Structure 1
Amino acid sequence: MIRVSTQEGNVHCNNSVVSSNLADKPKPALTREPAGEIFEGDTVTLSCRVEGGSDGWRYLWYKDSQSSTPVYQTDSSSGTGAGYTIRADAVSHSGEYWCRAKRGSKPFYSQYSNAVRIQVSQLFSTPTLTVKPGASVWEGEDVSLQCGAQIYKQGTQLQYRYSKDNEDLRGAGSQYSIPAAGLRDTGRYQCEVEAAGTGVKKRSDSVALTVKERPQAVLTQEPAWTQLFISESVTLRCQVQGQYTDWRITWYKDGWKVPVTQNYYSRIDGDKYTISSATRDHSGEYTCKGERGGNPSYSKASNALTLTVSVGAPKPALSQEPAGEIFEGDTVTLSCRVPRGSDGWRYLWYKNSQFGTPVYQTDSSSGTGAGYTIRAAAVSHSGEYWCRAERGSKPFYSQYSSAVNVQVSVSELFSRVTLSASPRATVKEGEALNLTCEATMNKTLRSQLHYTILRDGEPVINSTGPALYSIASTEKSHAGSYKCAVESQGVRKSSQELHIEVQMSWQSADAIGYRVSFTLYHFILFTLLLLHYCRIQGFLHIAGGRSRITWDQDQEQSAEGIELSSRVQHTGVELA
């Protein structure tokens, strides 16, 4: 049994291998057009032909290796029948090429053709992007991007394009300029070069550009008044932020073309510009900036600061709140305002005379800034008021407030307080007594009246209702000096003193008279009896007729004592 296995170039028979003769297979001829030097962008065509006819042949194309997968078509090459066209827009098309033919359903292959080498030369080099003066610059510096590429084929025209962060920029030529670079120009840049008419493009590597913010000059004013008046003083100070030092400050007024100079009224001292006595010529817009020897060589300019110097002292406006009639206990506020701003002003307050000593604060009034407040107004607060403003270490004074001065008229809240007694100020013990406190009101109250009735300086009743002090049955202890005090809205007034007298009743007088008479009667009787006893004892020691006489006298005196005792007792009965 013979088994035949057909493979490309081999025949197997009775387990033996017989090599086919390659000479029996046709060998295609491979040619190229054009035959000279090839540059990027050129078109090269390879042609493959099987000698002895081309009926039914299909062609395969190989690059760099016969054993590789056949190449058919790419973006820049294509095989169509016996031709393979290369649009050589890149050096990568360089290499060795072969062709081979096949036909039949179980393909019969020709031999490989001889190799044809294609060498693609560059039209121009890959561009290089250079940033000048450097990849890191200061705000405001001019920057140029230079795109360089070397041309290898004479007559090649290059076209340039630039991009920032992959966004196209307007610009052409081998240099792209950024005048006065700003922070927004920070980013990554690239350039692209194209050979005109060839479609060959090459891009540079990206280059980073960093634009650093310049130190900022900051202009301040001391004092920070928005409006100045002639002869006032002010200092402008310019300071450059950041870590850099050794700044020289340049001052400008009304634009960058007018540097500030010093004169009799002003001077420059380092970072300070001081106006010691302002004139109208000092009005204007001021700016400053710093300069130095190193990098950064100058700072950003400061924001503009405007000085306005006005002629004449301002005149404050004075107002009163509330504007109507003022009563005792009310709160009154006077407000003083300097027109066109109140920066730095301190306010002075005057009463009844512009030229007197300013009034600032009492127990019931105080001036705080532009306001002067009278709390719990009293009659003594009536009068005319003025205000005046001052500011600065060497005070600059405003005019006095308007000639139409505020008149504070204070009416009494209650004009009279009285204390009355009913039925009368002199009563007898046991009688009822009513004390009534009253106040004559001049206006409707916003708060209640508070009444206090005092006896000998000590309160006996406090009330916010009817001020009535009632005693159902008077005693001697109720006698004394009474006074009534009324208070409301911080105003307190007192009545005149009322003296209350409490007398004894008739029954009490009779009882006292009887007791006094009874006591006196017994005292006299005891005394007479004692005298009588003593005289009797003395008679026993006296002899003769003298004893008789003494006895007679004692009898007479005894009779007189009895008669006197009788009269005293009779008198006591009458008092009772």
Structure 2
Amino acid sequence: MCLSNIADRARATLTAATTTVSVGDRVTLICSVEKSAGWKYEWFRRTSHTSEDTINDGLNGNIRVSQGGIYRCRGFRGEPAVYSDPSDEVTIQITFSNKVSVTQKPSWSQIFRGERITLTCEVQGGEGVQWEYEWRTPQSQTFRTKQKDWTITASISGDYSCKSRPTDDSYSATNWSEALRLSFLDPPKAQISRSGGTLTCSVNPSSSGWSYYFYREKNQEVLTVQNTDFHSNREIRVSQGGVYKCRGGRGEPVYHTEFSDPVTIVEPVLRVSPWWLSPGASVTLSCEVEHVSAGWSFYWYKAVPDLSHKSGSYSYELLPASSNGTADNSYIIHGQTHTAGYVCRAGRGEPHFYTLYSQPHFVWSGDLHPSASLSVSPDRVQHFTSDSVSLSCEGNSAEWRVSRFLLPDFLSFCSDWGTMNRSTCHVQKIQSSNAVYWCESGSAFSNAVNITGHYDDELLLLSPVHPVTEGHSVTLGCKLRTENLLSKVFFYQNDTIIQSESRVEMIIPAVSKSHEGFYKCQSSGKESPQSWLAVTCQEIFPVVLSMNNNSSI
């Protein structure tokens, strides 16, 4: 029993003008049945990965197709339909001739042996096609991969090319790409140069993409010097004497150049004592020269803020009795009352040879000055690292900058870690550290404040940043960032408990000198860091008794 009527010995024939077609073009397929007329036609398409579907483009004996695949056809006529034998299959492939290329990343013009780069095989117009890739090396070796990216360690110069082969037989393999010619250079060497206290690192031969790393030798150990004070990544201002060298690095993972030849720096280091002033205190400056030898004279300077440089700098004014230098490497300043910065340098020989200037070092006063003052909002010493803080300068100046000394030895300015808007520095996040902040104008330093940054899961003591005047009241608090304190709060002065209540605040209604000291709080199983509460004496003004000439005693 037959399921369909098949015309005896009638067979369809499928012909194509070409079996390959470029992306976006079409090819005409013609189906015919010999011996008699009146035939209509059905068309079928499949791939090696898909089942056969009927093409409903019409019943004509020719169609135009732009898709690759395996095609066949058959004829039918009459009612009920009589079908011819199906035609042989014809495979149409889509070609990507001359549309494949090799690109390089990073796109450095100079590549050195040992660096890692990634080559990518790109097929233009091949979106949506699943490809396999074949690579050809300078030695004419070939290998296949499913990844379009090939990461190599630069070693052999020459031509690199690729071609793509689709996993679907609807597409034909591309031609080989035009070769990308790579020439790899011998590993470069860094060079270091010095101008005053600034060291500059460069890579020879010059090329792009480098970061620069500086090192100092100390006791036969090589220490990394961070670029904490620089005009660009390739420059650093040094504050210590010693033997320095540098090297460049780029890429991921980082490829390093050879180290530069070393350069030796003689530079003094200034130390001040004390850092924090009591009003009218004497300050001792000490200038230390590495590789100490005889014959040095020491010169002492006051640091004057120079606001014309955004990165922050100072000019230097000789202190009294220092114009000819001092034989002693220490210098005492009597009656210092305000925040101030100092530098030193040494010299000897004829003609006189001078070392570099030392980095500025500071003595700080917490007392508010009538000519310049710094206020903090929120007004407290301890802050969470996620807190935003505003530091505002006030006084007789139209231009200010806010400075920070990150203990133990790093000076920076608001432009490095905040946003300076007129006389206020806005800080989005406080650094997790202990730092001193103050304001500078062209002629004045403000009071200084100590601010500490702490992580959000810590317990903080809330205490004012400025000293409290005798007789005034002060409120101390205890705070967690994300939850209320549910248990008792314990307040301590100099490690002695002074209050144990459920309140999160402690009020001292009239402060006296005996209240000065270190304070901390405890609650909910946590203990805050301690902060110093300074107390200043209340000014006593003399009472003047005025007597009338006619008065009698």
Instruction: Please give the range of the TM-score, normalised by the shorter of the 2 chains.
Output: under 0.3
**Greater fraction helix:** 1
TM-score, structure 2 normalization? 0.27
TM-score, structure 1 normalization? 0.26
